[in-house]
Structure 1
Amino acid sequence: MSPSPVTRNDVARYAGVSTAVVSYVVNDGPRAVSPQARERVLEAIRVLGYRPNATARALRTGSTQTFGLITPDGGNPLFAELAKAIDRAAAERGYVVLQTSADGDPETERTKVAQLLARQVSGLVLVTPAEAPDLAGADVPVVVVNRVLPGVSSVSPRYREGARAAVEHLAWHGHTRIALVIGEPGPRSEVARGAGSERERGWREGLRAAGLADGPLIRVRFSRDGGYAAGRWLAGLEVRPTAVFVSSDLQAVGVLRAVREAGLLVPEDVAVVAFDGTAEAEWCWPPLTVVRQPLERMATEVVRQLVEGPAGRTTAYPTELVIRKSCGC
């Protein structure tokens, strides 16, 4: 016969306090508890192994203190790092995060939005959604990351400024033919969702600021194999670019491999700068110069809006150009 679960009354008796005091400690309010009483309650919880009933608490407070997070690709290092940052920021506020992936599929995304809302999450985060989601039945805060949707709060890096800074840095190195590797157009691509197009605009602005014509441009999937295909194409051009701005770290990893297989050196034959700034970029060879997204700041702002109320507008943060070997510095 299994032992009876530990109750709030058990904790109160062990700590020598009322059940109300136990509730104030567990729920962090609504009334203050003296440090001495709080410590006795926490010690009782540890000794007895008390586990508060989250479902009962949700019914009582009207909040599950859970956020739903949907990313387009759980295997992408950028989204994995962003999810970890959001999880840390949520934990500091006393929330937990339920994360899932839509695999870039609009129908899967719609289904998972509905499933998370049915689980009564306290807020919803959509990272680069494949399309404008149906939020008609959502009565919780919603924040979109890396895409702008009418009437929905969004948080993103300043893509265009970051891309321009990357191109201007390559031009400063003396490169006059700077290529762009960007995502392919289509309903599920970042180009269609706006982030990719902002990077393309920044690439063109950087070239114009340096008095340069457009270099070669190729659209491929936002993936390692997409970048690999782009690198093979660039290496085979009759007039090769001497530098390339790659719109994601994953693509840049593929570009590096293709360039090396073609017998070319980075940065001696072709310099490379990528956008994102994940840990993967630092461990490539040569280490990638990157435009780093401010993931921690973005995550903090996402959670702040979910807890305190959405801003109803786009909040964009500056990126950082991180210099490593791949650009020639």
Structure 2
Amino acid sequence: MAKATRNDVARLANVSTAVVSYVFNKGPRNVSEKTTKRVLQAARKLNYQPNSIARALRTGNSNTLGAVINDMTNPFNAGVYEELEMLAAEQGYSMLFAASHGSPEREHLVTEQLINRNVEALFISPCENIELSPINTESCKFIVFDVDRKLANATTISTDYAKAVETGMAHLFEHGHTNVDMIIGNSLNGISDGRVKGWYHAFTQRGIPAGHIEYTSFTRNGGYEAMLRILDAPDRPTAIFAGSDLIALGALRAMHERGIRVPEEMAIISFDGTVDSQYTYPELTVLEQDPKAIARLALETAIDPDFKPSLHLLEAKLVIRQSCGCNMETK
């Protein structure tokens, strides 16, 4: 069967070929909602696919967005990018995905490859302390996730890590815990993000000596090994703040293996609030990020014609379950 053309769509929709172009190129002339709907219905019926390369050459817009993901197995990352892909499709954009697998060298390589594919904007979850200096950021817009500070040539979108951790620590203090250790990843070249800053600030505000921070990777195994080190230390804490749900999952396994009752002997709070946190025993109390809000803001930023570098911090929600010591009597 021959491939449908713009002329075919125009005939079926009873419009000119120029109107078909206006619909798929989003201009330069406006098309009424009723006519647009008729053109799109005709295109779907004919399985018409516009030539994106030719359109990009004509308009300078590829209607393609790129994403570089550092860990495709992380449930939180998956939630953000799944929502982002769906929202982009609703706006007529396609997405190209690449994985860095935690390698800064590969991160720069796939970033350059996506830029060469003429993406209009690029979303990146960095695996290092990224400044984007080696990358040509003038050729497309950059939106950086999980960085809670300003960058000179990109928009950064993140949960307000510091505020979230202070909220979580305040809850642990209310339970009477003053000897609290933190387990957190150090993937950003050892640079402390807002989670660590919020952690220290929570202790300073109350005049309490800060607990120990055990650095590891943002993985289940990282949390498991870090928790074993904490349990083998002479000054065992009464509570743990985990920097991610994956870390918390590993920490819970280590505590269960050592016969530590949670939360009776050791409480734990986690950061992320992915679906996995609802299926642990006990259920994890979490600082819940909002992947849908992050994705929505990221797409709005990416397609904004007046794009300019900026910082956006979103609030996390304290979701109280059992691992902190609350609600145990209901189970």
TM over 0.5, yes or no?
yes
Alignment of 1:235-274 (within 5 A): 235-274=231-270
Contact 1:168 1:207 in 2 (8 A): no
**Does the Cα contact within 8 Å between 1:66 and 1:97 map onto a contact in 2?**
yes
Aligned to 2:21: 23
Letter in 1 for 2:180: I
Matched AA of 2:313: A
1:47-104 residue CA offsets vs partner (Å, 9 max, x unmatched): 3322222222222221111111112111111211121232233233321221111112
Q: How does 1:288-307 map to 2 (within 5 A)?
A: 288-307=284-303
The amino acid of 1:13's aligned partner reads R
Classify the secondary structure of the residue corresponding to 2:201.
helix
What is the match of residue 93 of structure 1?
Answer: 91
User: 2:142 is aligned with what amino acid?
Assistant: V
C-alpha distance in 1, partners of 2:35/2:183?
61
Q: For the Cα contact (< 8 Å) 2:166–2:199, is it kept in 1?
A: yes
Alignment length (residue pairs): 321
CA offset digits 1:281-304 (Å, max 9, x no partner): 122221211112232222222222
Q: Which amino acid aligns with 1:10?
A: D
Identity %: 38
CA distance in 1, matches of 2:137, 2:197: 36
**Aligned counterparts of 2:45 and 2:117: Cα–Cα separation in 1:** 32
77-86 or 156-165, larger mean C-alpha shift: 77-86
User: In 2 relative to 1, CA 233–39 (structure 1 residues): closer, same or farther, beyond 3 Å?
Assistant: closer
CA contact (8 A) 2:127 2:188 kept: no
| Superposition TM-score, scaled by structure 2 size | 0.90
CA gap of 1:89–1:41, structure 2 versus 1, over 3 A, is: closer
Q: 1:235: how far off?
A: 2.4
Judging changes above 3 Å, is the alpha-carbon distance between structure 1 residues 226 and 43 closer, same or farther for their aligned structure 2 residues? closer
Partner of 1:208: 204
Deviation readout 1:170-201 (Å, 9 max, x if unpaired)? 010111211111224xxxx1363442xx2122
Residue aligning to 1:152? 154
1:316 aligns with 2:313: yes
Distance in 1 between residues matched to 2:310 and 2:42, nearest whole Å: 46
Q: Is 1:52 the counterpart of 2:55 in the alignment? A: no
Q: CA RMSD in A?
A: 2.0
Whole-angstrom CA distance in 2 between matches of 1:144 and 1:70: 10
Which residue identity is paired with 1:246? A
Gaps spanning 5+ residues in structure 1: where?
Answer: none
User: How many angstroms apart in 1 are the aligned matches of 2:228 and 2:33?
Assistant: 65
Distance verdict in 2 for CA 1:300–1:256, change over 3 Å: same
Q: Does 1:275 align with 2:274?
A: no
